[in-house]
Structure 1
Amino acid sequence: MSTDETAVLDRIVDDETAVLLLEDDGEVVDQVTLPADRLPADGRADGAVYDLEMDDEHIVTLSYRADETASRRESAQNRFDRLADRLDDE
């Protein structure tokens, strides 16, 4: 049985192992690891978002979601900017 998951690249360890955090409704529910060279070059930055299909505990397909990655980065930057503005106002 295969499942579709959303995953976010947490880190790459020793330039060899990618750690992906699996999400369900925005909450981290598990993690998987895979060789970093399985990731596309443009999706090897922390926070990169992927769609993946898993069969038991093996990754069957992995697709980088560049638009979702950019959207999340922009949202995080906006939150940071709002917090920084509040600190400047105090």
Structure 2
Amino acid sequence: MDGTYTGVVDRIVDGETAVILLEEDDQVIDQLDVAAGRLPEPAQTDGGVLSVTVEDDEVISIVYRPEKTRARRESAREKLDRLSERLSDREE
């Protein structure tokens, strides 16, 4: 698997291993486990969006994408807000 992919930090396990979900066309296509210390510091949290370059099944570079991270978090927050509005409408 070679190329540059969008990666999303799914979780950090025991503070040591970052589980990164690789995406292509907004679909998860693979998962990588890398040492958490290899991530740029701002990306060392769940949901951080990255640009991950892989060659010969080895991670060559990881670049944090702050704007994409922010946009993805805002989108998730908006979806949760809409869901909570619908739920509160049902309770009335």
Per the normalisation by structure 1, the TM-score is 0.95
Counterpart of 1:78?
78
**1:8 aligned onto 2:13:** no
- Mark the runs of 5 or more structure 1 residues left unpaired by the alignment: none
Q: Which runs of 5+ in 2 are unaligned?
A: none
8 Å CA contact 2:2–2:57 kept in 1: the answer is: no
Deviations, residues 42-90 of structure 1 (Å, cap 9, x unaligned): 1111110000111011011110001000000000000000010011111
For residue 11 of structure 1, what is the amino acid of its counterpart? R
Does structure 1 residue 40 correspond to structure 2 residue 40? yes
Between the aligned partners of 2:19 and 2:2, the Cα distance in structure 1 is 20
- Cα RMSD after superposing both structures: 1.2
Q: Following TM superposition, by how much is the alpha carbon of 1:24 offset from its aligned partner in structure 2, in angstroms?
A: 1.0
Q: 2:61 maps to what in 1?
A: 61
Moved over 2 A (4+): none
- Give the share of equivalent positions with the same residue, in percent: 46
Q: CA deviation at 1:2?
A: 4.0
Q: Tell me the TM-score normalised to structure 2 length.
A: 0.93
Matched letter for residue 68 of structure 1: K
